[in-house]
Structure 1
C-alpha cells in the first residue's frame, strides 16, 4: 500500500483491540459500506463493513501471526489507502512474546473536551493523551502490551462538548426529554467519534492493544443502583431507547474488540457478520435489528448475555468483570453479580498463574471507612431499621452513589471467598499477587488485605485504583474521600461493628498508599519478581500539544516471603476462555 492522502473514507479508527501471540483485531468506522483491508508484513486481511443505524463499521481479524513480532500496519478502504495519515507515526501490531514480561496501563473516567488552555482548565490535562505523547516522542519508553479502560470512556448523561451539543440540537429539541443527554444510537456514535478523534488519542488507540468495560456513565449515572432506581427510570418516556442504544453502541465500539477470534466465532450477533463475509455477498449487512434485539434482551434478562471476559497475558491472567449490567437487584437477594455471572466467575478465578488481575470498574476494596458506611446504608435501605429509615437511606444511596461492592454485601462475600481460595492455593498453585484493578471513584489509591499469611493465603491481595483519566473531583469531595481513607476508618468500624445487621468483613484490609486526586493513568509491569505500579499525570508547560508525564506515585508489590514461584510458567486461562 502506498502512503495515503487525507481522506474522508475513514471516519474513526483504526483501533487496535485484541492481540495475543498469533492473532489481532483492528476496528474501524467508515463513511460508507466498503471492504476494509489491513496490511502487515507483506500480508493482507480484509473484512466487509456492517451497518448500524446508518453508520458503517468493520472489525478485521488477523490470524496466523508470529509470536513476538513487531511490524507496522496500514489500512485501506475499498483499496484506497487511509492509514497512517501523512506525517503521523506508524501504527504497529506487537504480538505477545511468551518470553517477555507483560506491561499494561489502566484507568477510568475520561470526559470529552478540547486540549487547549480552556479545555484543560475545565477538565484538567488528559492523562491518556499525555501518555500517548510520551510513547510517540520517547523511543526508549517501555511500551504497554495492553491498555485497559475500565469504564466511563464516554459520558452519555453529561454532554459539555459544544460540537456534540450542536449536533444534538440540529436533530431534536433539547428542551424535551432527555434534554442534553444522549438520546439514541446516532448520538452515541457521534459521542464516541468525538471521544476518540483527537489525533494523538487516535494514534495511541491504533497502536496499543486495548480491552474495555463499561461503567454507569457509559449509560447513565447510577445505572442499576437499586430496584427502585430501575423501576423509576423505566417509567420515563425515553429510557428504553437510551438503554437499547447504549448497549448496542457499546457492543459495536467496545465489546467485540474484547473478544478473541475464537470467542467472536461463538458470539451470536457476530455470527451474522461472519456468515455475511463468507457468503461474498455484494450487499451490505444491516445489524440494526439484530443488535437492538440483543440489547433489549440483555437489559431485560441480564443473565442471557455476558459482557465479562478473560485474557491471558503471558504467564499471568486478566479477568474483567461486568459490575453494572449483571447485577441482581431484587431487594431480598441483592448481589453485584447474578447467579449465572457468579457461576462464570467461579469457573475462571483460578491459580496456576504468576499474577492474577481482576478488572472491575467499581473498586472491590473501598477505603475501609467508606466500605462500612455503604454497608450500613445498605442495611438501612433494605429495611433493617424500618420503612421510614429505608426510604431515607435509599434517597441517600442514590444521591451520593453508595452502590459499590460494599452495598451488595452477599456478592462481595462470595467473590472474596473465591479470591481467598485462589490465594490459599485451593484452585491451583497460588499466584504471587491477586490484584483488583478499578476506577470510578475519581481518586486513586492502593489497598491490601492485612497479613494474608495469617489467613492462610500465599498470595498478596491488592486493590489498585486509578481514576480519573480526565475528570477531576471537586475539592470539597476530595476532603471527604481522604477522611474515609484515613481519619474515619476507626469511627466507622466502631459504629458498624456494634450493629448485628451490618456484616463485618471476613478479611480486613487497609489503604496503604493514597488517596491522590490528579488526573492520572496507571502503568503496571508483571515482572518475574514483583508487580510494579506507577501512576502518572500530564503536565503542560505552556504547550498543550506537548504535555510531559509526571510520576504521581510508585509501588512495588513483592511476593509473600516463601511464596516466590520458580520459573515463568504459563497462564491457565486460554485465549478463548470466557
Structure 2
C-alpha cells in the first residue's frame, strides 16, 4: 500500500471552492479523494524528485443559516485507502454556515533562521499543538499563513557549491553560473525541506484539518530576498535558486497556477483576492518582484488597485508579510547595520515598509486602503485589517484618517512567530534604543496618523511566540486574541483587542 509522503493540505479558493493537495510516490497511477462519500479524481500536476504532487478540487455549498457542518474525507491511492506520515487515514474540516462569520487563525514565521535556535527550545511546536487543541473545541474555518512558512536559509551551507560561491568576491559571484549538478541539488534541497518541515505532527494535522491560504516572505526563498543590490539580485546564482523556491512555493502554498484567485495570469507575481462569507481577503505578493527600490511592480499595483475598486462592502483583510505600521527604523538604518542586534528582530532593514526607499510606495498603499475603506464605510459597517508578521513579536497598529467628519480607521494585527523565538530581552532593548514608535503623520495636514496601540491585557509588544485568532463577537466587533506560549506569559496576561 502506498501512503502519503506529505499532506493532505487543504486550500480555500472561494466561498465554496476547496482544494486537497498531497505528495505521493511516483509509483501511484491513480489518486482519489473520498469526501462525504463523494469520489473526486485528483490530478497529477507536478513531478518532483521525491514523488508526484497531486491536486483535487471540490465545491461545497455552505449550509443555509448560521450553523456550519463538518466535512470528512480520505485519500485513496490506486484503489486503497492511504495513511499520512503519522498513520492517520481520515480527516475532517468545518464549513461555516452561509450567515456565519468564520473563525480565523493567522500565523507567520514557521521556522528558525539558525538550527541552534530549534535545539535551544524545549517545545518548538508548542503553539501548533495549542492551535490544534483550540480547533478541536471551536473549529477554525480558515488558516491564514502570512510569510516564512519555512526557512530555507540553510541552503548556503547545505550545498557545497553555494557555500563556496558565498566566499567569492562580488565580481566573481555575479559572473558565476550554476552547473547542472548544483541545480539538481537545489531542486532536492527545497523538495526535502518541505517534506521535513511540513510533516511536523501538529502542523500537518492543522494543514489537513483547516483550509488555508498563504503568501510567502523572504525565508521561503532565503534570507533577505529582494533587498540585495541589483547586481546580486539579478545574478545567475540568485535567479536559479529563486526559480526552484518559486516552483515549490507555487505548488505547496499557492496550490498551482490553477488557483483562480490569482490576480496575475502570467505568473510574474502571486497576489490574490477571494471572498469568504463577509470577508474579502487580499494577499499582496511583496517578494516575487521585489527590488531595493520597490516592493511591488507596476503590473501588480495596477491589478491590486483594480481589485480594490471592486470591493464595495464587508470586511477587508489585507495580507502584508512585513508590517505597514511599526517602529521607525528609517532614521537609524546606517547605525543599525553595525549593532549586534541586527538579526534579532528583522533580517534586513531594507525589507521594512518604513525603509527610506519604500516610504513613497508605503504611503501609496495606505492611501489606497483608506480610500477603499471610506467608500465601503459609506455602504454600511465595515472594517479593514492588515495581517502581518516577520518581526518576531506580536503587536497592534492603527491608521486613523480624520480628513473628513467621519473618521476612518485601518487596524493592523501582527502575529510573529509561531515557531521562531522572540528576541531576547537584551536584543529587544537594543532594538528599542535605535528605533521609536512615536505617532507618524502621513500627510502634510497631519490629518492621517499612524500609531501603535496597546492590546488589552498585555504590554504594547508581545515578546513571545504567538498566533492570532479572529472571531466576531455578539457585539459585532472582531475580537483579536493572541495565543501566546505558556512559559512566556506573565501573570494574568491574555492579549486581546476588539476591532469595531
The TM tier, using the shorter chain, reads: 0.7 to 0.9
When normalised by structure 2's length, the TM-score is 0.80
Equivalence for 2:307: 348
Match of 1:574 in 2: none
User: Contact conserved, 1:434 with 1:459, CA < 8 A, in 2?
Assistant: no
Which structure dedicates a bigger proportion of its chain to helix? 1
CA distance in structure 2 between the partners assigned to 1:422 and 1:456 by the alignment: 17
Residue 463 of structure 1: aligned partner: 412
Distance 1:551-1:240 versus aligned 2 partners, 3 A rule: farther
> Counterparts in 2 of 1:70-81, with a 5 A limit?
70-81=70-81
Q: Pick one of 313, 321, 326 that aligns with 1:361.
A: 321
> 1:87: Cα distance to partner?
7.0
Matches for 1:358-437 after TM superposition, within 5 Å: 358-367=318-327, 370=328, 373-374=329-330, 376=331, 400-407=348-355, 408-425=358-375, 429=379, 431-437=381-387
Q: 1:129 — aligned with what?
A: 128
| CA displacement at 1:436 relative to structure 2 | 0.6
Seen in structure 2, the aligned counterparts of structure 1 residues 177 and 415 have a Cα distance that, compared at 3 Å, is: same
Q: CA RMSD in A?
A: 4.0
Task: Give matches, 1:85-484, under 5 Å.
Answer: 88=88, 90-111=90-111, 119=118, 121-122=120-121, 125-135=124-134, 139=136, 141-158=137-154, 176-177=164-165, 184-225=186-227, 228=229, 230-235=230-235, 238-256=237-255, 260=259, 262-263=260-261, 305-327=268-290, 329=292, 334-350=293-309, 351-367=311-327, 370=328, 373-374=329-330, 376=331, 400-407=348-355, 408-425=358-375, 429=379, 431-450=381-400, 452-453=401-402, 455-475=404-424, 476-483=426-433
RCO higher in structure (CA 8 A, sep ≥6): 1
Equivalent residue for 1:516, pick from 462, 477, 482: 462
State the distance in 2 between where 1:484 and 1:96 align.
Answer: 46
Q: 1:155 to 1:536 in 2, by over 3 A?
A: same
CA displacement, residues 157-193 of structure 1 (integer Å, 9 cap, x when unaligned):
1369xxxx8xx57xx6785446999951221010001
Worse-superposed segment, 119-128 or 337-346: 119-128
Question: 1:132 Cα deviation (Å)?
Answer: 3.9
Q: Look up the match of 2:32.
A: 37
Secondary structure in 1 matching 2:254: helix
How has the CA–CA distance of structure 1 residues 458 and 34 changed in structure 2, closer, same or farther, with 3 Å as cutoff? farther
Report the Cα offset of residue 539 of structure 1.
3.5
Shift of 1:240: 2.7
Distance apart, 1:244 and its partner CA:
0.8
Task: Measure, in 2, the Cα distance between the counterparts of 1:64 and 1:436.
Answer: 28
Q: 1:124 to 1:41 in 2, by over 3 A?
A: closer
Structure 1 residue aligned with 2:495, among 524, 529, 554? 554
How far residue 335 of structure 1 moved from its aligned partner, in angstroms, is 3.2
Q: Which runs of 5+ in 1 are unaligned?
A: 1-6, 269-293, 299-304, 381-388, 542-547, 560-578
Question: Against the structure 1 CA distance between its residues 420 and 482, is the aligned structure 2 distance closer, same or farther, given a 3 Å change threshold?
Answer: same
Structure-1 separation of matches of 2:477 and 2:21: 34
Secondary structure of the structure 2 residue equivalent to 1:405? coil
**Larger radius of gyration, structure 1 or 2?**
1
Q: Distance in 1 between matches of 2:101 and 2:380?
A: 19
Confirm or deny: 8 A CA contact 1:107 1:150 kept in the other structure.
Answer: yes
Give a deviation string over 1:242-280, Cα, whole Å, max 9, x none.
1111111111111126975x458x987xxxxxxxxxxxx
With normalisation by structure 1, the TM-score equals: 0.70
The equivalent residue for 1:569 is none
Deviation at 1:64, TM superposition (A): 5.2
Q: Does the aligned pair in 2 maintain the 1:317–1:355 contact within 8 Å? A: yes
Alpha-carbon distance in structure 2 between the residues aligned to 1:157 and 1:251: 19
SS of residue matched to 1:255 = coil
Task: Name the CA shift for 1:322/1:553 in 2 (closer, same or farther; >3 Å).
Answer: farther
- Contact 1:47–1:58 (8 Å) recurs in 2: yes
SS at match of 1:16: strand
Q: 2-side partners of 1:506 and 1:219: how far apart?
A: 39
Cα contact 1:482–1:515 (8 A) shared by 2: no
Q: Which runs of 5+ in 2 are unaligned?
A: 168-181, 455-459
C-alpha deviations, 1:181-210, integer Å up to 9, x for none? 995122101000111112222111101011
Match of 2:172 in 1: none
Instruction: Give every structure 1 segment of 4 or more consecutive aligned residues whose post-TM-superposition deviation is greater than 6 Å.
Output: 84-87, 178-182, 396-399, 502-506
Of 11, 36, 46 in structure 1, the residue corresponding to residue 5 of structure 2 is: 11
1:534 aligns with 2:481: yes
Offset from partner CA, 1:51-94 (integer Å, 9 cap, x none) = 33433101111135454432211111111211468874841133
CA distances 1:225-245 after superposition (whole Å, capped 9, x unpaired): 15x2x312444x632321111
What displacement does 1:431 show? 5.0
* Equivalent in the alignment of 2:179: none
1:27–1:257 Cα contact (<8 Å) kept = no
Kept after mapping to 2: 8 A contact 1:447/1:509? yes
Q: Distance in 1 between matches of 2:290 and 2:161?
A: 34
Which whole-Å CA distance do the structure 2 matches of 1:183 and 1:366 have between them? 38
> Contact 1:104–1:146 (CA<8 Å) still a contact in 2?
yes
Q: Residues of 1 paired with 2:183 and 2:285: CA distance?
A: 23
CA 1:556–1:30 in structure 2 vs 1: closer, same or farther (change >3 Å)?
Answer: same
